[in-house]
Amino acid sequence: MRTLGEAVLPRSGPAAQGVDASGIDRFVTAVAALSDAELHSLMVLRHGHVVAEHWWPPYEPGTPRLAYSVSKSFTSTALGFAVDEGRVDLDATVLSYFPELDAEVTDERSRAIRVRHVAAMASGHDGDAFERARTAGDGDMLRGFLLTPPEHEPGTVFAYNQPCTHALSAIIQRISGGSLTAYLRPRLFEPLGITRTGWTRDPQGREIGFSGLHVPTEAIAKLGQLYLRNGVWADRQLLSPQWVEEATRAHITTGVPETDWDQGYGFQFWRSRHGYRGDGAYGQFMLVLPEADAVVAITSQSLDAPGVLEAVWTHLLPALTADAPPDRVWTPGTVPLPGPAADGLQPDRTPLTLRPGTGNQLPGLHTVQVVTGPDEIRLREGDSELAAALGAPGAWTTTGPLATASAWAGGQLHVDVIFVETPHRLHLRLDPAAGTFEARWETSPLGDPPLSELRVPR
């Protein structure tokens, strides 16, 4: 049994680990200047120590949040344990783990897809086969993936293909007889002290693998540190160094016209201009930087992921290898994320029940209510209702998985709703005179899930 001390990342001032704290400031400032990027959390590790960490309110350190495709690197780690234990063979075909599908899968290329091919996003398909696989399998993505013939020989072309990772997840769950989380718990989560997790499941009950993992930022940083140390955690070899090397080297060229997406792809890891990374939609990053003996974990709401990485290379990476001033510490500001702006005029507060207006972008959201004493906002979607205390102007009020801030402007009530277990923010504009509301996403959740599912899976 591991002790608590072994699971805690030690903290240190930046200068003690040779880090120039002013470079961290410059990185944060550079990202803030981007029009389509918003940091939610940042952890910087060097020489195994946390030298900088910050969460922008209403985001908090212990809250698990959706990592999007950083989930893939956790799924890859599960594969690594299974390979190290001799339970999965990289050169076996995917089909061999599901003999019940053997009679159905007749295409020779589908039958030839190996585990190493799906690990490297090289199944032979031209692009993401997500929708085709879901349709072909009547909702069973694993079956549909094997029933969707690749256009090319497996192992010859790269395509970022969600069913590839789902196949890895399905294999782990087949050989273990349990969930992906259950397999990782004694091997990864418990040794690293990762206690708060949730993972989205498919209709067959499988954790989907390619996305859907909810973990705190520190869990992302810890996984990066495990790989940086070649599979060692607290003097214990959890993963073999052979797996770390195999998973993080380039197995196939990607041909993606963005510099940091054109360095090759490993086993569910992207190669970068510097080191390698786990990479999730809207700017979720686990950056492993062997040249600096460093790890950077970032959660954000960013459409400009290349801009965020450029800021890392321009400002943060040099700070990690600089001669640091001996007395410089990093003291981040405490300013929360901005909310709606008020114009100073606030009508008398009265209960409101509003219907969708012509500018509403969420067709499933059919009613918004504001009640008073205490102030609360309620969102009705289908048969479900989300309720949260209504935050004041310039401040966030958190109620479970929701945080709100509100302000009156131009006779309308503007409410921002942050789903704090995800990267996403919903903008609401309530018009009492017209009896209507308009809703739009700052960034749209992938897959268009119901609002009630924008939280850690239960």
* pLDDT of res. 1: 43
- Pair 191, 237: CB distance under 8 Å: no
* pLDDT of res. 359: 87
Kindly give, in sequence order, each residue whose CB lies less than 8 Å from that of residue 244, ignoring residues fewer than 6 positions away. Answer: 80, 227, 230, 231
- Pair 196, 215: CB distance under 8 Å: yes
Task: Give CA separation, 377 vs 196, 260, 368, 391, 411, in Å.
Answer: 28, 42, 7, 9, 18
| DSSP single-letter state for residue 281 | T
* pLDDT of res. 374: 81
The predicted model scores a pTM of 0.96
| Rounded (10°) angle between helices 71-84 and 217-228 | 40
- Pair 387, 368: CB distance under 8 Å: no
Kindly list the domain boundaries of the chain, sorted by start residue.
Answer: 352-453
The whole-number mean pLDDT for each consecutive block of 10 residues of the chain, a chain of 458 residues, reads 70 94 95 96 98 96 97 98 98 98 98 98 97 96 98 98 98 98 98 97 96 98 98 97 98 93 98 98 98 98 97 97 74 81 74 92 94 90 94 89 94 95 97 95 96 95
The helix/strand/coil state of 218 is helix
* pLDDT of res. 331: 81
* pLDDT of res. 402: 98
Token look-up 């004694």 returns 186
* pLDDT of res. 345: 67
271-275 contact pairs (CB < 8 A, 24+): 272/309, 273/313, 274/313, 274/317
- Pair 271, 250: CB distance under 8 Å: yes
Burial 253-282 (b: 16+ CB within 10 A, else e): ebeeeeebbebbbbbbbbbbebbbbbbbbb
* pLDDT of res. 323: 76
* pLDDT of res. 373: 77
